[in-house]
Amino acid sequence: MKLTSYARREIGSSSIPNLVLTDQGYIGFSSPNDELEKAINALQGQEATNDIANLPKVKAGTILEPAIIQMFHNELKLICAEQGKLPLNISVPDKAYFYEVDGGKIGSSLDAEMHLDKTLNLIDHSKSSHSLNGMGVIEIKNYSGAASDDVSEIYKLQVQAQLLTTGYNYAILVRLVKGWELQWFVYKPNKEIQDKLINAAVEFWHRVDGIMQGDKLHYAAANTKEASKIFKGNGSKDVINFNSNNELPQLIDDYLSADKAIKASKKIQDTVSIRIKEILGEHEKAECQGYMINHSTYERAKTKTIKVEGAAPTITRRFTIKDMNG
């Protein structure tokens, strides 16, 4: 059940990381402008369904979530027993938690939460030792990557948002790696990170209100496709005169120069690839001074509206070069 809603001016802990500008730029699963669009649509009565929730991996995670919680609970009970049978309670809350900011709220709906009456000393997967007491967040992840992978910065931001909204003392991110290896990572409240989340939320709601009032307050477009999505056409075929704009001429020159360079580069690449294929001839794989050249043959079934019985598949070759030196 979705416990936070843009329609109530609430941005969830899984969405707000998309708004935080890091040293690597915006690193979320969706862009800040995507979140703006979702919020504005919701406030206008058109809240979209969560498409991510329909992904097979996410569906599997939702089904596995109670089992992962139980697996972690079992592990903790053993650790508590070793430390003198410490009281331990893990539960799934049926409410959301909120932190109010100018213009709206940050919200969290938790996978689970736990309460410790006494201090528990817990060593996490990073080999760090933590003293835990009182209330804590439990965040569950079904992870298909390598067991040696660090926790994504997105998830670290998510648990800080959860700690901010709940006021709890700690968060434990529990992930099941490739269906069998259970890992957990402990996080304490980080004021510097939480301030970034608060500032991001305040800016977000300011942009939402401005756009709804007709101001152009979108985030900078991440790419040209997003720019076209932000600045929708008005349907008019009238030619607008921009001769007085002093910035456009240089931008046009830069664009056309870049376009010519791309075409020239592509022509060089095509000429070179032809010569490499001539040298390899019928050979499909070759190694040369740390580079792997692949010119593999494969069959591609013909796709036609009307299929012809017995039609031979298309034979084609795929050409790639890989630097084996890293």
CATH number at residue 86: 3.90.320.10
Angle at 22 between CA 195 and CA 206, to 5 degrees: 55
Domain annotation covers residue 126: yes
Cα(183)–Cα(120) distance, integer angstroms: 17
Which pLDDT band holds residue 310 (cuts at 50, 70, 90)? Answer: low
Where a domain ends, among 153, 187, 211?
A: 211
What was the pLDDT predicted at 53?
A: 63
Which pLDDT band holds residue 85 (cuts at 50, 70, 90)? Answer: confident
Q: Do 171 and 275 share a domain, yes or no?
A: no
Phi, psi of 62 (to 5 degrees): -65, -40
Query: Is residue 245 predicted with pLDDT exceeding 60?
Result: yes
How many C-beta neighbours within 10 Å does residue 8 have?
14
Mean pLDDT for the stretch of residues 155-170:
98
Sheet (strand 129-143) strand order: 88-91, 112-123, 129-143, 170-177, 181-187
What was the pLDDT predicted at 86?
A: 79
Angle at 285 between CA 279 and CA 291, to 5 degrees: 85
Q: Do 39 and 134 share a domain, yes or no?
A: yes
Which pLDDT band holds residue 87 (cuts at 50, 70, 90)? Answer: confident
Tokens matching residue 144:
């298909």
Query: Is residue 287 predicted with pLDDT exceeding 90?
Result: yes
How many separate domains does the chain show? Answer: 2
SS3 82: helix
Mean pLDDT for the stretch of residues 26-34:
92
Lowest mean pLDDT among 52-66, 84-98, 198-212: 52-66
Domain annotation covers residue 223: no
Residue type for 85, please? K
Where a domain ends, among 154, 180, 211?
A: 211
What was the pLDDT predicted at 133?
A: 94
Look up the domain containing 314 and give its range. Answer: 253-323
Radius of gyration of the chain, Cα coordinates, nearest whole angstrom: 27
Domain annotation covers residue 318: yes
What was the pLDDT predicted at 252?
A: 96
Domain annotation covers residue 84: yes
Cα(190)–Cα(174) distance, integer angstroms: 19
Mean pLDDT for the stretch of residues 215-238:
90
Q: What share of residues in the chain are helix, strand, coil (percent, to 5)?
A: 40, 25, 35
What was the pLDDT predicted at 201?
A: 98
Give the global pTM: 0.79
What was the pLDDT predicted at 34?
A: 93
Q: Do 80 and 134 share a domain, yes or no?
A: yes
Cα(100)–Cα(106) distance, integer angstroms: 6
Domain annotation covers residue 278: yes
Domain annotation covers residue 151: yes
What was the pLDDT predicted at 63?
A: 86
Query: Is residue 79 predicted with pLDDT exceeding 70?
Result: yes
Query: Is residue 308 predicted with pLDDT exceeding 70?
Result: no
Which pLDDT band holds residue 4 (cuts at 50, 70, 90)? Answer: confident
Mean pLDDT for the stretch of residues 52-64:
72
Q: Do 68 and 146 share a domain, yes or no?
A: yes
Q: Say which residue the tokens 């089904």 belong to.
A: 63
Mean residue pLDDT of the chain comes to: 91
Cα(4)–Cα(143) distance, integer angstroms: 24
Domain annotation covers residue 229: no
Mean pLDDT for the stretch of residues 284-310:
77
* Closest of 106, 107, 97, 96 to residue 205, by C-alpha: 106
SS3 155: helix
Tokens matching residue 166:
């709940």
Contact 182, 68 (CB under 8 A): yes
How many C-beta neighbours within 10 Å does residue 39 have?
25
SS3 280: helix
